[in-house]
Amino acid sequence: MTALTKIPVTVITGFLGAGKTTLIRHLMANPQGKRLAILVNEFGTVGVDGDILKSCADESCPVENIVELANGCICCTVADDFIPTIEALMALPQRPDHILIETSGLALPKPLLKAFDWPAIRSRITVDGVIAVADAEAVAAGRFAPDVAAVEAQRAADDSLDHETPLSEVFEDQICCADIILLSKADLAGEAGLAEARALIAAETPREVPMLAMTDGVIDPRVILGLGAAAEDDLAARPSHHDGADDHEHDDFDSVVIALPEVADPEVLSAAIVRLAREQHILRVKGHVAVTGKPMRLLVQAVGERVRMQFDRPWGAEPRQSRLVVIAEHHHIDEAAIRAVLGA
């Protein structure tokens, strides 16, 4: 790549827990001879995804090429965070061949695409493509793509139901901006679930977009990298609920960081997280936990009632501090109630 060649950027969007980090880990392990750089934007003050990716760093994507922004949505902090970070990545001693951006689960991708027209970077970088990761099992259950006829019937009966929920708006903005949609957790959805998810998403997208099934983040990198979409020049074809707005807010969502004592039984913690999803409508829980008698830290990743735990690495010199980020719609965040359930 010459100094005059624009660096391609792939924007990876998707709802909370859809599998974006797992996909990026797969791309890091299969770089196709490219030197990668990664920008991770998280919702909440404790970085989990960035830490996971840094643990996978290698020659193709060293630790210094992985940057985490956890102090706000990058589509809302373009001048303060995004532009300087992109400039820093482009100024690395070894220029990256490709940059991957993992947006937060609550980010709207279209405002981020507009940032690529900023004079400081527009001649040096281009959006190779927007990849939306969608949880096939969740979509098949209709959580973010409600039945159109049923919605219209409710609308006719009650004007207060005329607006979609914030979650569905975020989901639709993400898939409508995509060049490719990856249906994650295909093994959990099954063939019938995948077919249902494809139909529901197709009904919401204004143009035909390839939809590919994926399990554990495994997809041929040649399929999703090198698209040459120049998405920053194609904004009109990517409609958003927020078109015409100068900015957007994430006040519908909130997060709280919960510090925990050492956990004696991870299964008890898992049951508590399931209870949070059922009783308090918690969307996402993630973090690291110290387990009594175990030298390795326990990585916790939960989406609704689906909880995954694994020991990822030894604590070493790092303090054995258990902290979980809990994310939900704003009116469902009751820190005292959450602490009570988690035993904090």
pLDDT at residue 260 in the model: 92
Q: How far is it, in rounded angstroms, from Cα 102 to Cα 225? A: 14
Q: How far apart are CA 312 and CA 226, in angstroms?
A: 32
Res 17: pLDDT:
76
The shares of helix, strand and coil residues in the chain, as percent rounded to the nearest 5, are 35, 25, 40
- 155 contact partners, CB below 8 Å, separation of at least 6: 161, 162
- Candidates 185, 181, 139, 223; CA nearest to 22 is 185
Tokens linked to 5:
């060649």
Does residue 241 contact residue 169 with C-beta atoms inside 8 Å? yes
* Domains of the chain in sequence order: 7-237 (3.40.50.300), 253-342 (3.30.1220.10)
Give the pLDDT of residue 57: 55
pLDDT value at position 52?
Answer: 54
Do 27 and 55 meet the contact criterion of CB atoms below 8 Å apart?
Answer: no
Phi, psi of 340 (to 5 degrees): -65, -45
Closest CA to 39 of 53, 60, 18, 23: 53
DSSP state at residue 163: S
Q: Which pairs from 149-156 meet CB under 8 Å and 24+ separation? A: none
Which pLDDT belongs to residue 304?
76
Specify the pLDDT at position 55.
Answer: 57
Nearest to 289 by CA among 271, 306, 301: 301
The Cα 265–Cα 28 span in angstroms is 33
What pTM does this model have?
A: 0.67
Q: 211-213 and 180-184 as β-strands: parallel, antiparallel, unpaired?
A: parallel
What are the average pLDDT values for consecutive 10-residue runs of the chain, which has 344 residues? 74 86 89 88 53 59 72 54 81 89 81 79 88 91 52 43 58 89 93 94 88 93 89 81 56 78 94 91 86 92 82 87 85 90 87
153 φ, ψ (degrees, to nearest 5): -65, -40
Query: pLDDT at position 168, please?
Result: 77
Contacts of 244 (CB under 8 A, 6+ apart): none
76 class by beta-carbon count within 10 Å (0-12 exposed, 13-18 middle, 19+ buried):
middle
Strands (E), the chain: 7-14, 36-41, 66-69, 98-102, 125-135, 180-184, 211-213, 253-260, 284-290, 296-303, 306-314, 322-329
The DSSP secondary-structure symbol of 230 reads -
Q: Which long-range contacts (CB under 8 A, 24 or more apart) does 92-97 make?
A: 92/37, 92/64, 92/65, 94/35, 95/1, 95/3, 95/7, 95/35, 96/7, 96/35, 96/36, 96/37, 96/65, 97/1, 97/7, 97/34, 97/35, 97/36
Q: What is the CA radius of gyration of the chain?
A: 20
How far apart CA 163 and CA 151 sit, in angstroms, is 10
